[in-house]
Structure 1
Amino acid sequence: MLTHPYAAFNQLEYDTTIRRCKTRPVKVGNVTIGGGHPVVVQSMINEDTLNIEGSVNAIRHLHEIGCEIVRVTVPSMAHAKALEGIKQELRQTYEDVPIVADVHHNGMKIALEVAKHIEKVRINPGLYVFEKPNSKRTEYTQSEFEEIGEKIGETLKPLIISLRDQGKAMRIGVNHGSLAERILFTYGDTPEGMVESALEFVRICEYLDFRNLVISMKASRVPVMIAAYRLISKRMNELGMDYPLHLGVTEAGDGEYGRIKSTAGIATLLADGIGDTIRVSLTESPEKEIPVCYSILQALGLRKTMVEYTACPSCGRTLFNLEKVLHQVREATKHLTGLDIAVMGCIVNGPGEMADADYGYVGKTPGYISLYRRREEIKKVPEDDGVEELISLIKADGLWVDP
């Protein structure tokens, strides 16, 4: 007799809380990634780092709307030196926002300069010791592979020691689209290649007793990104490593699909318990990324930074213009942090479907709105007064703050 795969479900107890993988805490200025701390939100300015005033304004704006660590790019030594002025200006005019700087393409000297001024350096293993691909090559011998590995270790050593001795952090940021040639020859263009590329750098750091590391496995294709993060999580567990992971779908694009693509990758892994910091990469102004990050975290119950709205999709039973009223309720209450508010069009969906909400706004009688505090109906009011009366109820409970 065949057993249905879901036959045992009613015998199990389900915990709706996401159980995050245990990782070590990594300090980045006054922010901690991993170690059970809330998932950290990151973004990146698109200002030229040489423009100190413009960069300071961009960093400050991102931080003010919820970005906790801000990334900048340092393509030259001049850009690296400009970081000193950016940090000084932030401290004098705002606050000391944690900054992570991108270093690419033989950026050894640049990275050492960067390490003097900011809290975290991001390097890409595929580009940090960059070698021009050889179109005539057909294989890498084991000795060639190891020889380049030794060169990487020698090149990376001064940066590791500098960061270690200053108590600063490094992100080993692997990108699917920029794996080193010898990794591609050995492992192919695969999640396994991405993982081995990261682990090679991790081992070099560990050899030098540096463990203030964050790892990322970014790809523009969501299935590749998910597979790579799951594999690095599995491999670290096997090796006794516990480094926090930075999640992101790189080059996700813009608009609705860019947001959906990023959410598909990031949320899937967070639901698995994988991930300690996130960045949504959109081809839009950087401040557009922050609301998406917080929406992902709120939807999964990992952070509560705004009102959670529950609303039915509307149908023939709906007794008022649900879309219009939901907009009115949201505009009136969106500044209140931490509340759950339900807007339901009829008695079928409310109050049953909104049992977990702090407040409910339900159409039970044509022309009237029933207002609920959790499961209890408090009063029935004319439809035109519904939003105002909801606000009055929140105020009576002492939970209202002015916008």
Structure 2
Amino acid sequence: MQTAPIEPIDRQQSAPAAAPLENLGTIQRRKTRPVKVGNVTIGGGYPVVVQSMINEDTLDIDGAVAGIRRLHEIGCEIMRVTVPSMAHARALAEIRTKLQRTYVNVPLVADVHHNGMKIALEVAKHVDKVRINPGLYVFEKPKDDRTEYTQAEFDEIGDKIRETLKPLVLSLKEQGKAMRIGVNHGSLAERMLFTYGDTPQGMVESALEFIRICEELDFRNLVISLKASRVPVMIAAYQLMARRMDQLGMDYPLHLGVTEAGDGEYGRIKSTAGIATLLAQGIGDTIRVSLTEAPEKEIPVCYGILQALGLRKTMVEYVACPSCGRTLFNLEEVLHKVRSATAHLTGLDIAVMGCIVNGPGEMADADYGYVGKTPGVISLYRGKEEIKRVPEEDGVAELIALIKDDDRWVEP
């Protein structure tokens, strides 16, 4: 269940003021409007929302429902599905009905590409948000011999976009639903490429064109994304978008992601480099880590990023020294034992320190500490206070007993 909003702090990204002393060490998030997606709110100071996307074919009703449920049960709060055809769009009605009947009403987002007005209008009846890609929503036939776009040509396509987008905007507005304007660096429209180049500016202007159409129709339930597979491009695009929105008096929440990040360790590092950099600057209201793996593998990375930045606390925070010649026990082995015994808990900070030299100081903010005092002896701490010394072989059991004494233990 989503918690209450954290009071947002207004900050101009283009010229950030020095943070008050009492706010040092905490991230001051950019102020954005709240956008409801089903029973989840993006922006408005609410906690950063975790998203993913099922890889089952939407026509497979049972498979799609199972995929959505698996992701939701491990913490994914908003689910995206692809709808490449009208049949897929209609299938969302059955998927939603089955979720309501057999599980819960999970917030759903439909991905619409390639001349998708009819598909988008149909699927808007069955989901909570529709995601469109400005570079693909209206097809622009490339010309091999083109050297420029005239203003008349540019405006003509703009008018066609407005005509095509208007019915969807009005439908979503009437239903109280949301839209994500999702720009991708790799699929910018040809006229944007000719006008602005293959640049973050082209991405931002592409998003702004669609935002302005929505605003003309008094529709502001918008979330914006500007994804790229290259981290520096992705960061620059979001930073520029935040500055431009501040200049224009816009406050739309931003969905962060590094698209096509790959798999394995590098895919996780690449996603973290982009997403965490922006979140640390206060930019971003919802995230997706896009891995070439089962979508269930994305959720732990999302929560790891948010936990590391202090934006959400969904697991135990472990503080552990890297080990050195002073370490009085096998630190890696003991940390593994402590983690195995306590990883199911939430909201705790537990420190595992190899010796008394740095232990009490470095773990001062931890709820509990496990410190090598002398060979074969462990000191257990509650905060900064040493509670007891126990034989090393009893250390983990005694730590659990201490947590139980404080009524902070739950069974796995």
Shorter-chain TM-score: what band?
Answer: over 0.9
TM-superposed deviation, 1:179: 0.1
Does 2:53 align with 1:59?
no
Q: 1:6 maps to what in 2? A: none
RMSD in angstroms over aligned alpha carbons? 1.1
Instruction: For 2:23 and 2:314, locate their aligned partners in 1 and report how far apart those are by CA, in whole Å.
Output: 26
Instruction: For 2:41 and 2:144, locate their aligned partners in 1 and report how far apart those are by CA, in whole Å.
Output: 44
Query: Runs of 4+ in structure 1 displaced over 6 angstroms?
Result: 11-14
Does 2:101 align with 1:88?
no
Q: 1:3 maps to what in 2? A: none
Question: Where do residues 197-208 of structure 1 align in structure 2 (5 Å cutoff)?
Answer: 197-208=206-217
Question: Where do residues 131-210 of structure 1 align in structure 2 (5 Å cutoff)?
Answer: 131-210=140-219
TM-superposed deviation, 1:133: 1.4
Query: Normalized against structure 2, the TM-score is what?
Result: 0.95
Does 2:352 align with 1:343?
yes
Instruction: For 1:335 and 1:38, locate their aligned partners in 2 and report how far apart those are by CA, in whole Å.
Output: 21
**1:12-40 per-position Cα deviation (integer Å, ceiling 9, x unaligned):** 77611101000000000000000000000
2:369 equivalent among 354, 360, 364:
360
Q: 1:125 maps to what in 2? A: 134
Given residue 291 of structure 1, which amino acid in structure 2 is its aligned partner? P
Given residue 52 of structure 1, which amino acid in structure 2 is its aligned partner? I
Instruction: For 1:326 and 1:166, locate their aligned partners in 2 and report how far apart those are by CA, in whole Å.
Output: 51
Instruction: For 2:30 and 2:388, locate their aligned partners in 1 and report how far apart those are by CA, in whole Å.
Output: 45
1:287 equivalent among 290, 296, 312:
296
Does 2:379 align with 1:370?
yes
Q: 1:35 maps to what in 2? A: 44
Gaps of 5+ in 2: 1-17
Query: Normalized against structure 1, the TM-score is what?
Result: 0.97
TM-superposed deviation, 1:349: 1.9
TM-superposed deviation, 1:131: 1.8
Instruction: For 1:284 and 1:362, locate their aligned partners in 2 and report how far apart those are by CA, in whole Å.
Output: 38
Q: 1:319 maps to what in 2? A: 328
TM-superposed deviation, 1:348: 1.5
Instruction: For 1:72 and 1:143, locate their aligned partners in 2 and report how far apart those are by CA, in whole Å.
Output: 37
Instruction: For 1:194 and 1:46, locate their aligned partners in 2 and report how far apart those are by CA, in whole Å.
Output: 26
**1:259-315 per-position Cα deviation (integer Å, ceiling 9, x unaligned):** 000000000000000000000000000000000000000000000000000000011
Question: Where do residues 155-304 of structure 1 align in structure 2 (5 Å cutoff)?
Answer: 155-304=164-313
Q: 2:3 maps to what in 1? A: none
Q: How high is the sequence identity, in percent, across the aligned residues?
A: 82
Instruction: For 1:318 and 1:130, locate their aligned partners in 2 and report how far apart those are by CA, in whole Å.
Output: 64
Q: 1:379 maps to what in 2? A: 388
**1:146-194 per-position Cα deviation (integer Å, ceiling 9, x unaligned):** 1100000000000000000000000000000000000000000000000
TM-superposed deviation, 1:108: 0.6
Gaps of 5+ in 1: 1-8
**DSSP 3-state at the match of 1:231:** helix
Instruction: For 1:14 and 1:42, locate their aligned partners in 2 and report how far apart those are by CA, in whole Å.
Output: 28
Instruction: For 1:312 and 1:133, locate their aligned partners in 2 and report how far apart those are by CA, in whole Å.
Output: 57
**1:372-392 per-position Cα deviation (integer Å, ceiling 9, x unaligned):** 000000000000000000000
**1:26-62 per-position Cα deviation (integer Å, ceiling 9, x unaligned):** 0000000000000000000000000000000000110
Given residue 397 of structure 2, which amino acid in structure 1 is its aligned partner? E
Most deviating of 125-134 and 32-41: 125-134
Instruction: For 1:123 and 1:178, locate their aligned partners in 2 and report how far apart those are by CA, in whole Å.
Output: 12
Instruction: For 2:303 and 2:102, locate their aligned partners in 1 and report how far apart those are by CA, in whole Å.
Output: 27
Q: 2:115 maps to what in 1? A: 106
1:211 to 1:14, Cα distance in 2 relative to 1, 3 A: closer
1:72 equivalent among 81, 90, 93:
81
